Amino acid sequence: MSLPRKSALITGASRGIGKAIAQAFAEAGYDLYLTCIKSETLLRAYCRELSEKYEINAFCFCGDIGDYETVCTLFQQIPRLDVLINNAGISHIGLLSDMTPAEWHSIMSTNLDACFYTCKLAIPLMVREKSGRIINISSIWGNVGASMEAAYSASKGAVNSLTKALAKELAPSNICVNAISCGVIDTDMNRCFSEEEMQALIDEIPADRLGRTDEVAALALQLAGAPAYMTGQILTIDGGFL
């Protein structure tokens, strides 16, 4: 009797880093649960593409992952789970003093609360199998903070702390929890910068370029297959920036 294919839940998978991670895991033979908040048509088409190309099952879910009831509805469709990748995230650039409470809560809801919700519901599935991998997509600004991105930095710093604490909590259950701290990756999130601003940023990166989404995806796939003794780590991929 053949074993079931491994499965992975990837949030925020309709574009950017999440989309690249989905392809890497599909190519590795994982069944996928992919989420987005608005781009349902695009994500459904992508699920069909991955299913046909790699002969896996890819399921699409559209909803606000920062809402607990929505995440509960998602997990009603997931009977077992090997890998959880918390990738969904949004940014906000501006002075903290100009930020509204609604904008603050939106950042925290998507970047931090969603991690709590998905972890809370994924853990029982993984404990049942005495195995699991949780990978949180973080940022270098969670390590050192960024001017004009205080809320985003705070949310990612919290994700890093959650990663370390949860790793200790789940280690006895053979569940590994790690995070990938991304530098400046070539995604839509960075389209807000002008060409001059982006070039100035690249000039500060020793690798002399932006990171690619497929590079982050490759690291995520490596983490999913890393030894079980590797847990509670914040792995930085930033071209030597920090």
| pLDDT tens readout for residues 69-114 | 999 999 999 999 999 999 999 999 999 999 999 999 999 999 999 9
Which of 30, 117, 152, 229 does the annotation list as catalytic?
A: 152
Predicted confidence (pLDDT) at residue 193 exceeds the cutoff of 80: no
pLDDT per residue as tens digits for the range 3-60 = 679 999 999 999 999 999 999 999 999 999 999 999 999 999 999 999 999 999 999 9
Q: What is the pTM of this model?
A: 0.96
The DSSP result for the chain, as a single string, is -PPPPPEEEESS-SSHHHHHHHHHHHHTT-EEEEEESS-HHHHHHHHHHHHHHHT--EEEEES-TTSHHHHHHHHTT-S--SEEEE-------S-GGG--HHHHHHHHIIIIIHHHHHHHHHHHHHHHHT-EEEEEEEETHHHH--TT-HHHHHHHHHHHHHHHHHHHHHGGGTEEEEEEEE-SBSSGGGTTS-HHHHHHHHHTSTTSSPBPHHHHHHHHHHHHTS-TT--S-EEEESTT--
Q: Which pLDDT score, from 0 to 100, does residue 189 have?
A: 75
Predicted confidence (pLDDT) at residue 234 exceeds the cutoff of 80: yes
Active site residue 152: yes
